[in-house]
Amino acid sequence: MFAVDLRSDTVTVPTPEMRAAMATAAVGDDVYAEDPTVNRLQETAAELTGFEGALYVPSGTMSNQIALAVHTRRGSEVIVPEGAHIYEYEPGAMAVLSGALPRFAPAVRGAPTAEGVRAAVRRSPHQAPTGLITLENTHNLAGGAVVPLATQAAIQSVAREEGIPIHLDGARAFNAATALGVGIADVTRGFDSVSICLSKGLGAPVGSLLLGSRAFLAEAHRYRKLLGGGMRQAGVLAAAGLIALTRMPAGLAADHARAKRLAQALAGADGITLDPARVETNMVFLEVDDAAGLVQRCAARGVGVSSMGPRTVRLVTHHQVDDAGVALAVDAIAAAAGSMARAVRA
């Protein structure tokens, strides 16, 4: 559809190695926990992250929402950083599925402060009790920003002191680990549950992993079935997931470097406002007068970009975007933005 598709890292298709593994995967009925490939994927994820176990689920949204359902009671508040995917892009699921309400913690570049989170906790019997604290790392709407590990630790301390569970939407936790130069377990440590997506920068066609304790996962398993997420011979998909989890993280640094180059090349282009210093991982956010107009004009030039607001456009690099793709995208985006800016001035 596009010569270069920067709309999201979700657009990645399985690699030839994934296709081969999928074709020969050993399978069983995963609702009975009898799919050997799903079991291996879950065990591998648990080992890598230091959790007692993991549950393979169809999507990041289901993973987050199962965690929310397990941790909260109806009428609870969930503290979310401003702009969190768990509220902004999971169409009211916390209200529909769990009867939960969001309370937003002010966040700079996706990172709330420990004081901000503590101030958001409700303890009075006259108010909705806080049932869960969530963080997102990397933070999508903050431009793929990395939440510092010290911030995570400080907010985890608040959660422990207040006796409230804490969940990480780690859809792109491997991007955070890569940017920080640490292992994945350093990013996922200290949370009661973590959701990791295999279908974003890691390139698997489908699937997320929900990490937690055995007791948490027993309940999570029940909610996965309740939501229709029991996938039977899912080993066909999990086989690609295993490659995503073990081989694909090594390529993320190259995605980050390409995002940086994309940003540096577009900074200062006519009609575009952008600070390359803000590019920390595989996302570039730029400001233009008319985001929808730029999306359309880029599409006409064969480049997929997405609008994240009336003036905000997002570009996401991934393993299917090479250096030639970056060059092509820079030319197309600069030309499209330039022609729009000239039209406004004329």
List residues near ligand TLP by CB under 6 A. 8, 10, 59-61, 64, 85, 89, 136, 140, 169, 171, 197, 199, 208
- CB 283, min distance to ligand TLP, A: 8
| Nearest CB to ligand TLP, comparing residues 34 and 88 | 88
| Nearest CB to ligand TLP, comparing residues 142 and 340 | 142
- CB 59, min distance to ligand TLP, A: 3
| Nearest CB to ligand TLP, comparing residues 121 and 194 | 194
Closest CA to 238 of 7, 79, 17, 27: 27
| Nearest CB to ligand TLP, comparing residues 269 and 294 | 294
Q: Is 49 buried (19+), middle (13-18) or exposed (0-12) by CB count in 10 A?
A: buried
- CB 219, min distance to ligand TLP, A: 20
The length of the chain, given as a count of residues: 346
Q: Are 87 and 94 in contact (CB under 8 A)?
A: yes
Q: Are 205 and 59 in contact (CB under 8 A)?
A: no
- CB 169, min distance to ligand TLP, A: 5
- CB 339, min distance to ligand TLP, A: 27
| Nearest CB to ligand TLP, comparing residues 15 and 61 | 61
275 Cβ contact list (under 8 Å, min separation 6): 267
| Nearest CB to ligand TLP, comparing residues 132 and 197 | 197
- CB 257, min distance to ligand TLP, A: 20
Cα–Cα distance between 12 and 321 in angstroms, integer?
10
277 Cβ contact list (under 8 Å, min separation 6): none
The residue with its CB nearest to ligand TLP is 60
Cα–Cα distance between 46 and 231 in angstroms, integer?
20
16 Cβ contact list (under 8 Å, min separation 6): none
Q: Are 304 and 298 in contact (CB under 8 A)?
A: yes
DSSP 145: B
| Nearest CB to ligand TLP, comparing residues 262 and 269 | 262
- CB 247, min distance to ligand TLP, A: 20
Helices and strands in the chain, H and E counts? 14, 14
